[in-house]
Amino acid sequence: MANVWVIAEVKEGSLKKVTLEMLSKGQELASKAGGALEGVLLGSGVEALAAEMGKYGASKVYVADDAALADYNGEAYANVLAKIIGENKPGIVLLGASINGKDLAPRLSAKLGAGLASDVTELDVEDGKLAVTRPIFAGKAFSKIVFKSDIQIATVRPNSCPLAEAAGAGEVVKVAAEIGDVKAKVINKELTGAGKIELTEADIIVSGGRGMKGPENYKLIEDMAAVLGAAVGASRASVDAGWRPHADQVGQTGKTVSPTLYVAVGISGAIQHLAGMSSSKCIVAVNKDPEAPIFKVADYGMVGDLFSIVPIMTEELKKATA
Amino acid sequence: MNIIALVKQVPDTETRIKVQPGAKDIDREGVNFVLNPYDEFAVEESLKIKEAQGGNVVIMTMGAQQAEEAVRTALAMGADRAVRLDGDDFLNADNFATAKALVKAIQNEEYDLIFCGKQAVDDDGAQVGTLVAAMLDLPCVNQVVKLEVAGATLKATREIEGGSETIEVPTPCVITAHKGLNEPRYPSLPGIMKAKRKELKAVSSGDLGLSADEIGAAGSKTEVAGLSMPPERKAGQVFEGEPAEIVPKVVALLRDEAKVI
């Protein structure tokens, strides 16, 4: 019997969507593995969120509530989690493939001697063991991974598993937060993009490339993104030119994304960019060069001057989504 | 400050990756291999600290002899010497077994700081730096975009969702480098000449006292069952003409055909 654990990620007092996605998938994995689906909540004043985890099938939610866990700290979170995982020995442990999830998971892997697969997009149970698929080379290929360890850890990429509610008791089990010795301490935090949609979690992304000609023209991209409720992305060329922050870069040395809709504006489609966005459900490309490689992956392409096309497109999208 | 920089040789990001169905590795023929781009940031930062504070920079890698090209690049940038974990018994190691072997080699060195790239752009694991830190019981700061050294303490700024945070961390520690940390230098011609004479030591599992079941596939906690290519995207519809005519068409298709808005 292998229980499936989903480690919740809390942002601004709410569960992140990837947590609910993992619970949704976890229902199926737990039933195939012949175990229970359970959740873990770490934070300060987070107990009330257990009920929401129950709505997505968690029968039990282990809650470590402590003021010292209010903000993410890799060492503190790993100490608390490794202890409760070690005591309860779930077979499968899932974390979101967020910046913090990917910081936390290898710490658990080392402490528990447990195998870890990063950034998985497909999960299944075969012969009682976890089997996952993950993109490698930023999506130029896929790798299927199986586990040899008893505890099997995966970080799951957002937008990989559809949401499915299921009645779970969401019974709260309070656990002690044994934080232990913490050497690395956060001394300052700067939130520049508060309220901004995270690129890797966005349903829609509008990206601008070298064709934007300068940072001042990204207003066009931002306006379209605002109409669509989209995140703003960028190509490596526009990041290297200093027009956009690196956090916005999509591609092999940036972020790999798989939104429902990806709009590429003035992006030619270098292979390292295509790797990072080719798994998008629908791709729209705007480029003046009809030979641009981006048109080979685009579902809908428009050849022409982006400075005339984009403002019209923003207006048309406004009407279409009104 | 004595620094170890962990590096890996990977296919160039411009490489078109090919995989035979069911294969466990990519087709390596014709692939151009380079020093992992994130490791370049790690090497550059190591050299900057060395230049400001003194000390040594040791490059460490696990890989076949071919990987020495990437190591020589790091030596040509200015690192002092290198250690390569050599032998077929290291093959097919997952991130866990890789970290375990590197840890053994690290323990033979004197160091204040360990750098590596935040991830290798081949398997995209993004685990080894953190695993090494946890196995050595050292603190670790990931995805660092800015670093200040103040005596034996570092102030490391890392990217987080919606912004950044600065973490104060004592040495020894592990720092994984992200794009933005610095602009890696190009090896100079004299640097390249000097690099040829720098020590590049190959060490075996036996030299490190690692047993067969701790390394390579046997020491791994995960296993690659097979690789595959992503599904090919079908060619779509491309429109040319007056924006006022083609844009409404595409927007209508997004709404009615693709149903994504």
- Kindly report the number of other CB atoms within 10 A of residue A91's CB atom: 23
CB contact under 8 A, B230 and A114: no
Residue B169 DSSP code: E
Q: B154 Cβ partners below 8 Å, 6+ apart? A: B113, B141, B147, B148, B168, B169, B170, B171, B173, B175
Strand partners, A93: A5, A153
Residue that the structure tokens 């992006």 belong to: A267
What is the structure's pLDDT at A1?
62
The closest of A134, A99, A119, A105 to A5, measured between CA atoms, is A105
Is B62 inside any structural domain?
Answer: yes
CA A248, CA A232: separation in Å to the nearest integer?
7
CB contact under 8 A, A283 and B254: no
CB contact under 8 A, A148 and B26: no
Answer whether B22 touches A (CB < 8 Å): no
Q: A88 Cβ partners below 8 Å, 6+ apart? A: A3, A5, A62
Chain B residues with CB-CB distance to A141 below 8 A: 17, 19, 26, 227-230
Chain A residues with CB-CB distance to B145 below 8 A: 246
CB contact under 8 A, B220 and A115: yes
Chain B residues with CB-CB distance to A198 below 8 A: 161-162
Which residue among B140, B179, B240 sits closest to A74, beta carbon to beta carbon?
Answer: B140
Is B247 inside any structural domain?
Answer: no
Q: Which residue of A has its CA nearest to B117?
A: A253
Q: What is the pLDDT of residues B145-177, one digit of tens each?
A: 999 999 999 999 999 988 999 999 999 999 999
Which residue among B140, B167, B222 sits closest to A147, beta carbon to beta carbon?
Answer: B222
Which residue among A141, A194, A247 sits closest to B228, beta carbon to beta carbon?
Answer: A141
If DSSP codes are grouped into helix, strand and coil, which group holds residue B244? helix
**Half-sphere exposure for A19 (CA within 13 Å, toward CB):** 23
Encoded tokens for B29: 């023929």
The closest of B66, B10, B14, B16 to B37, measured between CA atoms, is B10
Which residue among A11, A99, A299 sits closest to B159, beta carbon to beta carbon?
Answer: A99
Is B227 inside any structural domain?
Answer: no
Chain B residues with CB-CB distance to A117 below 8 A: 222
Question: How far, in whole angstroms, is CA A314 from its chain's centroid?
Answer: 27
Is B84 inside any structural domain?
Answer: yes
Which residue among B166, B222, B224 sits closest to A187, beta carbon to beta carbon?
Answer: B166
CA B221, CA A111: separation in Å to the nearest integer?
13
Is B90 inside any structural domain?
Answer: yes
What is the structure's pLDDT at B232?
87
Q: Please report which confidence band the pLDDT of residue B234 belongs to, taking 50, 70 and 90 as the band edges.
A: confident
What is the structure's pLDDT at B111?
98
Chain A residues with CB-CB distance to B143 below 8 A: 99, 103
Q: Which of A81, A93, A129, A144 to mutate to test the interface with B (most CBs of B within 10 A)?
A: A144
Chain B residues with CB-CB distance to A317 below 8 A: 251, 261
What is the structure's pLDDT at B187?
97
What is the structure's pLDDT at A219?
97
Residue that the structure tokens 């030979």 belong to: A291
Q: Which residue of A has its CA nearest to B234?
A: A297
Is B221 inside any structural domain?
Answer: no
Q: What is the pLDDT of residues B52-109, one digit of tens each?
A: 999 999 999 999 999 999 999 999 999 999 999 999 999 999 999 999 999 999 999 9
CB contact under 8 A, B121 and A137: yes
Residue A183 DSSP code: -
CA A81, CA A68: separation in Å to the nearest integer?
14
Which residue among A272, A279, A300 sits closest to B230, beta carbon to beta carbon?
Answer: A279
Domains and CATH numbers, chain A: 4-174 (3.40.50.620), 199-321 (3.40.50.1220)
Q: A125 Cβ partners below 8 Å, 6+ apart? A: A29, A32, A33, A92, A131
What is the structure's pLDDT at B22?
80
The total number of structural domains in chain B stands at 1
CA B40, CA B10: separation in Å to the nearest integer?
12
How open is the CA angle A173-A177-A181, to the nearest 5 degrees?
Answer: 160
CB contact under 8 A, A149 and B260: no
Is B27 inside any structural domain?
Answer: yes
Q: What is the pLDDT of residues B106-138, one digit of tens each?
A: 999 999 999 999 999 999 999 999 999 999 999
Helix (H) or strand (E) holding B77: helix B68-77
CB contact under 8 A, A253 and B37: yes
Chain A residues with CB-CB distance to B120 below 8 A: none
Chain B residues with CB-CB distance to A295 below 8 A: 236, 238
ipTM of predicted assembly, 2 dp? 0.96
Residue A214 DSSP code: S
What is the structure's pLDDT at A87?
96
**CA distance, residue A91 to nearest chain B CA (Å):** 14
Which residue among B143, B221, B233 sits closest to A278, beta carbon to beta carbon?
Answer: B233
Taking the CA atoms of chain A, what radius of gyration do you get in angstroms? Answer: 21
Which residue among B141, B241, B254 sits closest to A300, beta carbon to beta carbon?
Answer: B254
CA B120, CA B10: separation in Å to the nearest integer?
7
Q: Which residue of A has its CA nearest to B261?
A: A321
Give me the residues of B, 40-79, that contact A with CB < 8 A. Answer: none
**Half-sphere exposure for B246 (CA within 13 Å, toward CB):** 20
CA distance readout (Å), B171 to A20, A241, B155, B174? 38, 34, 11, 8
CB contact under 8 A, B238 and A302: yes
Positions in chain A whose pLDDT score sits under 70: 1, 194
Range of the domain at B27: 3-214
Encoded tokens for A71: 């903000």
Average pLDDT over residues B178-205: 97
What is the structure's pLDDT at A194?
66
Chain B residues with CB-CB distance to A283 below 8 A: 233, 236
Which residue among B123, B180, B261 sits closest to A321, beta carbon to beta carbon?
Answer: B261
What is the structure's pLDDT at A78?
98
Chain A residues with CB-CB distance to B233 below 8 A: 278, 283, 296-297, 299
> E-strand spans in chain A?
4-7, 10-11, 14-15, 37-43, 60-65, 92-96, 115-120, 122-126, 129-136, 141-147, 152-156, 171-174, 185-191, 204-208, 231-234, 261-265, 282-287, 300-303
Q: What share of chain A has pLDDT > 70, as a percent?
A: 99
CA distance readout (Å), B108 to A234, B70, B79? 43, 22, 18
What is the structure's pLDDT at A287?
98
Is B259 inside any structural domain?
Answer: no
Rounded to the nearest integer, the mean pLDDT of chain B is: 96
CATH of residue B109: 3.40.50.620
CB contact under 8 A, B240 and A135: no
What is the structure's pLDDT at A94?
98
CB contact under 8 A, B250 and A300: yes
> E-strand spans in A137-243?
141-147, 152-156, 171-174, 185-191, 204-208, 231-234
Enter the pTM of the model. 0.95
